[in-house]
């Protein structure tokens, strides 16, 4: 017969949460022009192009993070559309924390929006619009898979769950 008596958890709440792995959370947005080209930005601190977005602050939700990053990186204040995909990224030697990356639909940028873009010189050196078929010339790996999946989800309206840029079970997680 089961006992109704409860025992305290062996760890205090502080000890328990301190024992859990920290997780990096990032969020960005897929922004398109009228031709269907996707906006990419060039950071000062790395050689590759990326989508607008960045790291979540403790007091933010992923959607708030993406909106703040678009405001900081592009000087555009935009409401975001639906969640397109969530990508869980395992920790590696180069990235010692696991991560959860969110991509939202940033919508279509008008000609006026494009003209209003202002980059922070200390963070970004350039931006460009790239046809989806040309994305592999600018980005690669899990980011490429994530963006391609987000573009497809934008068409279906159904958010997609990813693991290291792959649909679960699609292949083994890469390092």
Q: Is the pTM of this model over 0.85?
A: yes
pLDDT of residue 61 exceeding 80, the answer is yes
- Separation CA 159–CA 127 (nearest Å): 26
Is 112 contained in some domain? Answer: yes
**In this structure, is residue 17 part of a structural domain?**
no
Using the structure block, give the residue that is written with the tokens 């309206």: 157
Is residue 127 assigned to a domain? yes
* 159 falls within a domain: yes
Task: Look up the CATH number of the domain holding residue 135.
Answer: 3.90.79.10
**Nearest CA to 127 among 38, 65, 66, 30?**
38
- Scanning the structure block, which residue is given the tokens 């000609």? 111
Q: Does any domain span residue 6?
A: no
Both tokens assigned to 131: 């046809």
**160 DSSP β-pair partners:** 85
State pLDDT tens for residues 101-117: 999 999 999 999 999 99
In 5-71 the beta strands, taken as DSSP E runs, fall at 24-32, 38-43, 53-55
Residue 5's pLDDT is what? 63
Domain contains 144: yes
- Whether 85 is in a domain gets the answer yes
Range of the domain at 90: 22-163
Domain count, the chain: 1
Average pLDDT on 70-98 reads 94
Can you read off the two tokens belonging to residue 116?
């209003």
Q: What is the rounded distance in angstroms from the CA atom of residue 152 to the CA atom of residue 150?
A: 5
What pLDDT shows up at residue 173?
45
Residue 88: helix, strand or coil by DSSP?
A: strand
Domain contains 88: yes
């Amino acid at each position: 017969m089961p006992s109704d008596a409860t025992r305290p958890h062996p760890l205090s709440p502080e000890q328990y949460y301190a024992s859990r792995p920290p997780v990096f959370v990032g969020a960005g947005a897929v922004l398109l022009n009228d031709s269907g080209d996707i906006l990419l930005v060039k950071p000062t601190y790395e050689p590759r192009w990326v989508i607008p977005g960045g790291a979540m602050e403790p007091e933010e939700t992923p959607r708030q993070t993406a909106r703040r990053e678009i405001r900081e990186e592009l000087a555009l204040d935009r409401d975001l559309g639906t969640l397109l995909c969530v990508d869980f990224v395992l920790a590696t030697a180069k990235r010692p924390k696991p991560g959860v990356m969110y991509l939202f639909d940033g919508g279509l940028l008008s000609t006026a929006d494009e003209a209003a873009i202002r980059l922070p010189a200390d963070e970004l050196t350039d931006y460009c619009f790239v046809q989806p078929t040309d994305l592999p010339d600018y980005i690669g790996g899990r980011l490429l898979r994530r963006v391609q999946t987000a573009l497809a989800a934008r068409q279906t309206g159904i958010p997609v769950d990813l693991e290291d840029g792959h649909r679960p079970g699609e292949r083994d997680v890469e390092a």
